Amino acid sequence: MKIRLLHNASIPNARWCEPVGWEPANVIEGSEMWEGAWWDDDEQTAGLVWFGEPNAYGANEVIEASLDDLRVASCGDCRIIGEVKVSEA
């Protein structure tokens, strides 16, 4: 899975990221997927985090990642809320 790395998350060894060329199939109640994150009417509610060596890559760098290295995290409290799901094509 290709992802674009963003800034460090407050979760140890995690960085926020966004999918490149794919979209997670996770459903976050009251939110819709838009530009790589879940948004409600007012704000970002959840996003993807990548677990790896946080300083091994630069910001906006696109890398290959395993689904095992990705999780869905809530915004604000940075709490892991689930594994990343993909649609079966």
Q: Mind listing the pLDDT tens digit of every residue in the chain (89 residues)?
A: 999 999 999 999 999 999 999 999 999 999 999 988 999 999 999 999 999 987 889 999 999 999 999 999 999 898 999 999 998 75
* Residue 57 neighbours by CB under 8 Å, 6+ apart: 5, 63
* Residue 33 neighbours by CB under 8 Å, 6+ apart: 23, 24
What pLDDT does 9 receive?
Answer: 92
Task: Flag whether 60 is in a domain.
Answer: yes
Task: Flag whether 65 is in a domain.
Answer: yes
Q: How far apart are CA 1 and CA 29, in angstroms?
A: 24
Please give the backbone phi and psi of residue 20, each rounded to the nearest 5 degrees, phi first: -120, 110
What pLDDT does 36 receive?
Answer: 86
| Number of domain units in the chain | 1
Q: Which domain holds residue 24?
A: 2-83
Task: Flag whether 30 is in a domain.
Answer: yes
Neighbour tally for 54: CB within 10 Å: 16
What pLDDT does 89 receive?
Answer: 59
Task: Flag whether 41 is in a domain.
Answer: yes
CB 76 within 8 A of CB 21: no
